[in-house]
Structure 1
């Protein structure tokens, strides 16, 4: 069993005696605080903090992290306060413990929301000190190792949470050893039968594998030695979860995956890595398109290595990773590998720290933009599973984006303002659709325009969390602004019926109404009106209750529609109104106003309801394109469709869709959707169509 003395002995290899004494003090303090508390497994509670500190010791973490590991549950599970810890062990350790603490258990509607809220708070703590997440990961790893005592339902939930959030974070920070163990333990808890079968199969095939691995290792080592390259060759075992994932994703059998042999070659320098690559490529034939150079372009988490696949003796596929010892430490311990070379006062100078900081900064930005914790955690999950590709800005700067990313994702990766103002893109100097997935090596130039705004349709194809959360945030704010503007317009229109307007009313009458409606700002009331949650006419009457006679007010003044009302005013698809049509506005709760033609059959029942329906008129300067459905009866003849298309084009209109139905042997019906700017424009289109000899009747379809 692990003891504090055994841990202290291990720490002597890299920590000062003074710092080891501080860690011991933290242990005895925690032991006292947790006195009488037991784990579900029946062990004393203090065994858990001690085990967490031991995991961090394997990662060679600094003394403050180990002290925080000893004390990480003290604030939450005992009567000790953060202030008391700060007094005893200094503010640095107290802040770390506070960040790691699983935070107060608030009352949440769902377990999912609780998980999301806790994660959100952890991100805030990480932004102050990245070590918080390292202690948290070690805490999770020990909890996963001792999951056996938990009830099955809780086991599965913890395993799912580990695979969704904690293992990908470990991957993001490059802590490979910890990630592999987390994934395997979670896999065994989530799918015990599958894990057992794969483990049995690996054991069974290990006998003959061992011999072959030994032979290949020997052959590689001898060849490299003969070429004068000083290296260490290690056989690589695939772990359970990665085997399972490969079977699932690549649709391969277990045997096909086990037939690939992995080796790692550790060299003295970067130069030796490339020399080694040349030697192994001469020794065994390389598989085309399977070479990756992560030394020249490191992965987002700082991982560096050369990867290649070769066909070895007897046609056996061999996967080889070539790297220096420093890269090997980096690959296994990631960001933790740097704590050793960093004294407490130095700044985070390593590129890995800079990357981790950038990632956490991105998380913070996402958190500010997200509507609620659950939306935030969904965005983070997208962000945690990237398979990177590397693309270039026009000036040659390299940017990492996830596989499948589009130009819009790229624009937001460069800067939020560029994403928001993006209108088009050039990929490798050719105009390309914004939705086209990018490939490694592409050079992307984003075309922006002042006053441009994100398109809601982008949400259908963007894949990065940053792009998604920024678009949603912009549209949310835009909808709010639009609803306030529409609310102001609707309220002013109703007030004009009483020969006044909003600006002419006293502050006192507005404030008393806001108090009555329990709202703090006029904008909130206007937003409610714009969204259709309150009726403008009723609000106008309440406002004027004290200062005007509202009984004889006229209600026939129509509001003007100018086409600049934004997202909250939409045109009904059933009757397709166009400028010049007599129109009415239908207020829909939470959605704003939908404009229908006066004759539309769908609003017959609501026409007389002044709370939901209001008279509208078109602004004289109204501009824009409107879609109209036409039904054309015509005789069958050669080239008739070309004639129709030509006639519509000559009237300066566009065909949006066209569908032809045969009525009998001689006649057909054409259902045509065209875009026009007004009724006069539509009349011009119809005149042109009537000019065709084959056309009989033309009817505008409404409702």
Structure 2
């Protein structure tokens, strides 16, 4: 364990004016509170907070952050309280310790809905004082460095959480060194064989070609000296996980991967950065499309640097980053540079970003998300994306995630511009709206009055802002159409039981189903979010349940043992009247398949799992869902006539989804609730006879059966 004097020496090295007595008091208090507690490795627990504090000294952080690290687990794990810490160390430190405690209690790996809410809490805690997340990141880094003491399943859970949340967050904050180490430590747990293979390849490469890093570093120093540029040059091999990710992204083997080495040139001034770039490009050939100027267009976390890739010795590609010492400090510390000390005073680094503005910019885009899925999508887009900088014709700059399109650019300017976008010019040339923008391009958006967002844009855009705005516009536009469709579906469903879908009946259904009003009910029916069966049962439960002398669902299949349950295979959706066979599935009873189901081929070598079944004789209720794919003409009233036709055949539409919209036709998927195979044939025959229906097919998907069997 690091002794208190050694820890104070680390702080004093960058802050000679540190409050040594206060740090010593926090050290003694933390050790006393954690006395008797042990880590899973068998070490005293207090070794962990001290190590976290030591990690933060590498970022030259202020006394308050160092003391918070020493005390960060006291409120949660010991008898210490907020009021006691406030009394001993002041309100600032008490609030920081409390903030870290609250972060620790947020369970970030859970269901999507809960995870979205927890991310909101995470950003809320960060917005109060960003230093709490700096302590939490250092806490996670030390835990990952000592993760081998944990149980295997706990290691995997922490590693996935680190890879999904903490590593991207460190990168988003500009702490790239921490991101890389967190990713590599998680990679070591999640894929030890993959990491070991990368390291073995490195050893072999070094044995075959010698110390490439030393040779290239020496060459670069010679070039800079000849150009009379004073600079430091550092080289390194990239982390195993970084190389593994590149191999997967580029679908290349290690031997074909070229840019596995990175070099940094630290100059004395900004002008020297560009002079050094010229010297490097004069000696080595630059790789086209790999130059980025983050000095003139810095990242939102304050990062500034010139990036280029050149063909070095023996044709090997190497990445080169060129920046000043102050830029390098921000590149190493990111947003944390705001609190960094040098020579006993807060570092006046002109490139350090204001943490309050940074967190405000990060969170404002999440506040507009209307549901959990949209929020999570926005979070992941923001945390995982690199950025490109594009210009309007007037020279205004907009930052977008890599892979963004002109539509993203239009929405970045204004929601109204995005919604009315009909085309774009990039660097003066007309391009498709799905074009991926590149750094430094000039984008001119073409708009037209009356244009509205298209459904296909959702799959084109990259930014959370654009996706949210498009979804909202589509919801508003589709509402009228869904209400009309819902009214027709409700009319047919009520007529099947001899009733009318009056306003009063629909209002009653809405009240019973806890839906705000009649219009909302019809919109939900039209968008297939609720079924007409639910609506009818809400108003007339007795009539809906009245089936006469029909065969109940629980005794629909003959041939099962008394202790066996069954369910229909989603792959073939068998209905009464079809020949069937059962396949036993552990923990799921028997899955019933049509005798001609393609999935049955998988079980040819497992005869012990086959069960001879048949449908029960007699009339069955209209509860067996069959999926149809229809191609219909795009004309007024066609869909209404189809719904009426299906209703006349006493079938219920339980779901409807458009999968392709063209000017002359629509393709849609429709789920119908039917009695038996004769009922299905009657419906399909009637549909095939309709002149506005180009094609009707029963949709069977073996993939759905495979997915279901794997559940």
- Preserved CA contact (<8 Å) 1:103 1:118: no
Do structure 1's residue 604 and structure 2's residue 675 form an aligned pair? no
Q: What does 1:391-406 align with in structure 2 at a 5 Å threshold? A: 391-406=390-405
Change (3 A) 1:194 1:381: same
Per mean C-alpha deviation after superposition, the further-off stretch among 97-106 and 47-56 is 97-106
Are residue 281 (structure 1) and residue 281 (structure 2) matched? yes
2:167 aligned with 1:123, yes or no?
Answer: no
Query: After superposition, where does 1:88-127 map in structure 2 within 5 Å?
Result: 88-102=88-102, 110=110, 115-127=115-127
What is the match of residue 202 of structure 2? 202
1:379 corresponds to: 378
The DSSP-based 3-state class of the residue aligned with 1:523 is: coil
User: Paired residue for 2:153?
Assistant: 153
Cα drift, residue 135 of structure 1:
1.6
In 1, Cα distance between equivalents of 2:37 and 2:110: 28
Distance 1:482 1:32 in 2: 68
Q: TM-score, normalised by structure 2?
A: 0.67
> Does structure 1 residue 43 correspond to structure 2 residue 39?
no
Seen in structure 2, the aligned counterparts of structure 1 residues 468 and 448 have a Cα distance that, compared at 3 Å, is same
Instruction: Give the CA deviation at 1:331.
Output: 1.8
Tell me the residue number matched to 2:10.
10
Distance 1:417 1:27 in 2: 56
Question: Do residues 528 (structure 1) and 572 (structure 2) align?
Answer: no
Q: What SS does structure 2 have at the residue aligned with 1:400?
A: strand
State the Cα distance separating 1:518 from its structure 2 match.
Answer: 8.7
| Structure-2 separation of matches of 1:470 and 1:342 | 45
In the alignment, which residue of structure 2 is the partner of 1:631?
A: none
How many residues of Structure 1 are paired with residues of Structure 2 in the alignment?
Answer: 568
Partner secondary structure for residue 395 of structure 2:
coil
Post-superposition CA distance 1:20-58 (Å, at most 9, x none)? 433333333333443433222222222222211111111
Q: Which residue of 1 aligns with 2:622?
A: none
The alpha carbon displacement at 1:367 in A equals 4.8
CA distance in 1, matches of 2:132, 2:281: 43
Matches of 2:342 and 2:420, distance apart in 1: 42
* 1:463-484 deviation per Cα after TM superposition (whole angstroms, max 9, x unaligned): 2233224434555577779879
Quick one: distance in 2 between partners of 1:106 and 1:351?
32
Give CA deviations for 1:543-589 in whole Å, capped at 9, x if unaligned.
xxxxxxxxxxxxxxxxxxxxxxxxxxxxx96776955x6x9xxxxxx
- Match of 2:162? 162
- What residue is the counterpart of 2:234 in the other structure? 234
User: Does the Cα contact within 8 Å between 2:510 and 2:518 map onto a contact in 1?
Assistant: no
How many angstroms does 1:191 deviate by? 1.0
SS at match of 2:264: strand
- Give the match's secondary structure for 2:233: strand
Q: Report if the CA contact (8 A) 1:127-1:357 is conserved.
A: no
Q: Residues of 1 paired with 2:343 and 2:473: CA distance?
A: 42
2:640 to 595, 609, 616: 595
Counterpart in 1 of 2:295?
295
Aligned to 2:590: none
Question: How far off is 1:409 after superposition?
Answer: 1.4
Distance 1:276 1:153, change over 3 A: same
Q: 1:103 to 1:311 in 2, by over 3 A?
A: closer
Matches of 1:17 and 1:47, distance apart in 2: 26
SS in structure 1 at match of 2:304: coil
**1:675-686 equivalence runs, <5 A:** none
For the residue of structure 1 that corresponds to 2:375, the secondary structure is helix
Partner of 1:266: 266
Q: 1:123 to 1:484 in 2, by over 3 A?
A: farther
Answer with 108-117 or 215-224: which moved more: 108-117
Task: Provide closer, same or farther for how the CA distance between residues 478 and 6 of structure 1 changes in structure 2, counting only shifts above 3 A.
Answer: farther
What per-residue deviation string (whole Å, max 9, x for no partner) do you get for residues 412-464 of structure 1? 32344543454544444555443332233332233456776543322121122
1:58-78 superposed Cα distances (whole Å, 9 cap, x missing partner): 111112222222232333334
Q: In structure 1, what is the Cα distance between the partners aligned to 2:18 and 2:120?
A: 35
After TM superposition, give the deviation of residue 175 of structure 1 in Å: 0.9
Map of 1:139 onto structure 2: 139
Once the 2 structures are TM-superposed, how far is the Cα of residue 369 of structure 1 from its aligned partner? 0.9
Query: How much does 1:163 deviate?
Result: 1.8
**CA 1:356–1:274 in 2, change beyond 3 Å: closer, same or farther?**
farther
CA distance, structure 2, for counterparts of residue 201 and residue 23 of structure 1 = 46
* Structure whose alpha-carbon radius of gyration is higher: 1
What displacement does 1:142 show?
0.9
**Superposed displacement of residue 345, structure 1:** 13
Q: Deviations over 1:299-321 (max 9, x none)?
A: 44433223334444554544433
Q: CA deviation at 1:655?
A: 5.3
TM-score calculated relative to the size of structure 1: 0.68
**8 Å CA contact 1:177, 1:332 repeated in 2:** yes
Q: Using a 3 Å threshold, how does the CA distance of structure 1 residues 192 and 450 change in structure 2: closer, same or farther?
A: same
Partner Cα separation in structure 2 for residue 127 and residue 144 of structure 1:
25
Rounded to whole Å, the distance in 2 between the matches of 1:71 and 1:194 is 38
